[in-house]
Amino acid sequence: MKTYDHIIRFTLLIIVAIIGFSIVRAYMVPDSFGMQGSYTYAYYRAESADEQAALPPAYQGTEHCADCHAPQASMLQANAHAQLDCESCHGSFKAHNNNTKDRMAVGDTVDACMLCHADLRARPAQFPQIESFAAHVAQQGDELLPGMTCATCHDPHAPM
């Protein structure tokens, strides 16, 4: 029996563990994982970026809406709300795809308009704001009638 017999045994044990781990590691690390540039900022699974790039967008933009709703789209773009997108008020196109044909009408309410046009101190002063719907109607010298909304006087696609 050699003096270092037991030391050889544990050394072998450690070597086996290291080799075992290396094999596990080789099989468990995805192929595209590695440095795609700087180690600090770009050490990752390259496929991840492409996977994310393939996610389906929900919002499609006014041009897409104009394929079917050209009159409204062109009216929108020619008037005071030109900076708005259809989906700014109507919500995402995803809720209106070919399968569901769900309608995307904006509830014809004062609240929908007041989200942007309520008078807030934090808003830029030149931005059109009204203190309240009733006050605005009174200011215009009109009578406040039941069922009246902003759309009674303003077409949201061409408000002014």
Helical H segments across the chain, by residue range: 5-28, 47-53, 62-66, 70-77, 86-90, 110-117, 133-139, 150-153
Give the integer Cα–Cα distance in Å for 156 and 106: 10
Stretch that binds another protein, among 65-73, 86-94, 102-110, 140-148 (CB under 8 A): 86-94
Any contact of residue 94 with another protein (CB under 8 A)? yes
Any contact of residue 107 with another protein (CB under 8 A)? no
Judge contact between 17 and 25, C-beta under 8 A.
no
Cβ distance to another protein smaller for residue 57 or 142: 57
Judge contact between 129 and 120, C-beta under 8 A.
yes
Among 16, 43, 152, 153, indicate the residue that binds another protein (CB under 8 A). 43
Per CB under 8 A, residues contacting another protein are 1-7, 9-10, 13-14, 18-19, 21-29, 31, 33, 35-45, 48-49, 52-61, 81, 83-85, 87-88, 91-92, 94, 114-116, 118-124, 127
